[in-house]
A and B are shown apart, each in its own frame.
Chain A
Amino acid sequence: MPAAAIEFQNVTKVYRRMFREEQVTALSCVSFEAGAGEVCAFLGPNGAGKTTSIGLLMGFHFADSGEIRVLGCTPGDVRAKEKIGFLPENFAFYKYLTAPKLLRFHLALAGNRSAEAAARIPELLAKVRLAGYEEMKIGKYSRGMVQRLGLAQAFLGDPQLLILDEPTSGLDPAGRKEILELLLALKAQGKTVFLSSHILPEVEQICDRIVIIDRGRLLRAGRLQEMLSTGDRVELVADRITEEIEQAAAACGAVVERGPHGVRIVLDAARKREMAEALWNGGCDVVSINPVKSSLEEVFLKVVEHGEGGA
């Protein structure tokens, strides 16, 4: 793996109520890494601890134990924050500002006085499809427009690391596609992207690494390709199938689907030879045999349902 841009080592975070016994463990001994130049998806059901983890990463909260490093610094260190673009979940803005004023305010906060950076603001707004709304107060923006503005401010100043909490939330399908294309362009530029999302098919298109947590525990972390190739199922395509073979296949747990280009049979890898021979003996022609790759959604659901652990 490339040098880690983000490191979590046995991080535990417990929320305690003042004057009450009640406490909630948001994170329990969570460890994972995201390499520089990678797009890493941080996945988990609602309440899994994703936003808490991102808050710890940004220095908004403090871990009870464990160690976190962001670009080699401790969370909240201004040297790291200079290189980070951040989009929080449900981004909130000063409603009385306009988009260019907000971006100029953020440039001032970044200590960036260059005229070049200020001149790039219209370009950035055009990139997130907000050109033409420069005079409108942010308070009058729709949810999707606010989200796009949030992305524009995260992209401001050409950050090395992007931390995005639900970046496509509130966007229409066309908007989501555009954001994914923007993220792919950033990936091509060698930027590190750490994002949380519930829209797994989109995540699958752009991510190199996946981290799955649930109820504050790390369930799985690793490269996307390794996670998707399960290796225990195969897909066998034949030109036709007899009723007798279909019944036998169904009896041993295979899934048979008829399509315009033949019959697709998905079954355990251990039974592929037996099935192929049965098809040949029955006078059917086997067109192809390929290992089945699970979708990220399937892997995610399986991992979360089984509460699988380990990295």
Chain B
Amino acid sequence: MKVRAIALNTFAGFLRNKLIVLFLAVFVGILLLFLTPLLAMKAMSGPAAAQMESPVLTLVGALMTMISGFGSLLAAWSAADTVADEMKSGTILAVMARPVRRWEFLLGKYLGVQLLMAVYVLFMFGFSYLLTWIGGERIQTTPWVLIAYPLVRYAIYSAISMFLVTMMHPVMAFGLVLVTSILTFMVSPGARPPAFLPGPLRAIVYTLLPSTELLSESRFLTITQTSLEKITWDVHAITLSYGLDYALVCFLLAVWSFRRRSLSRD
């Protein structure tokens, strides 16, 4: 009941967070701008339309990657901001004066972030279908994959961010999550250039950092049937379990770090 109350209040706070609303508004604006060429393409017919098919698919892919990437930033920022803002404003004092344990408070905050990200993923899901429909194509992937994978990835980013914000300023925590995500791409086996770090060190860093490449829904977000990657249920289960386990470890680290944290305003 306590955790639920904190989670719902956190979510309600996000919907009134001017910074988050502003970011979302700018983002939606950019998306609408990108929609223009797609709609123009939709209006074409005959050979001109066939000629435009490839650039449209590229544009749709880029937009989807952008939406997905923005979700990671949103997850990291909202997790860092929600805890830090409670401490900065002092609202945490009244909450923690109630019979609420520190881990319950953190779990409520974390679930509030996941609620926000669930809404975002549903929006992302709907928008992906809309884009491909406008582009005259159809997404071939099973819908649940497009929901579960980004949710797990965002759960990881928000957990890392929450852990870091128990020790440092939210901007610094957000920056570190950003660096982590860039580093993850740079040390992944398919990265360019491949020799970013010496082999063994690169392997260690790759093992330690969350493999967001593995958890990327773009692996499955295929529009054409020919490139659809066939993955069995057990592989999905193992991949998602890996992601959830990573998020859980980060969240437990946050709980451990927060248990002796001073709840002062600075």
Q: Which residues of A contact B (CB under 8 A)?
A: 55, 58-62, 76, 78-79, 81-82, 84, 86, 88, 90-94, 96, 105-106, 108-111, 113, 150, 153
Contact = CB atoms under 8 A, between A and B. Distances in A.
Given A61-B264, A109-B5, A111-B2, 8 more contacts: A58-B93, A60-B262, A61-B263, A81-B100, A92-B94, A93-B94, A106-B94, A111-B99
Interface of B: 1-2, 4-6, 9, 12-13, 16, 89-91, 93-102, 260, 262-264
Pairs A-B, 6 closest by C-beta atoms: A108-B5, A86-B97, A92-B90, A109-B98, A78-B99, A60-B263
B13 A84 contact: no
Contact of B2 (A84, A109, A150, A153): A109
B95 A109 contact: yes
B10 to A, nearest CB: 10
11 contacts: A58-B97, A60-B96, A81-B100, A86-B97, A88-B94, A88-B97, A91-B90, A91-B93, A92-B90, A96-B13, A111-B1
B93 A60 contact: yes
A59 B96 CA distance: 9
B160 to A, nearest CB: 21
A166 to B, nearest CB: 13
Nearest to A60: B263
A14 to B, nearest CB: 12
Contact of A60 (B6, B99, B101, B264): B264
Contacts of B89: 92
Contacts of B100: 78, 81, 109
A81 B4 CA distance: 19
Most chain A beta carbons < 10 A, residue from B6, B90, B99, B100: B99
Contacts of A92: 89-91, 93-94
A90 B89 CA distance: 10
Given A55-B264, A96-B12, A108-B1, A153 B99 contact: no
Given A109-B2, A111-B2, A62 B96 contact: no
B168 to A, nearest CB: 10
Contacts of B94: 86, 88, 91-93, 106, 150, 153
Nearest to B98: A109
A93 B263 CA distance: 16
A72 B230 CA distance: 62
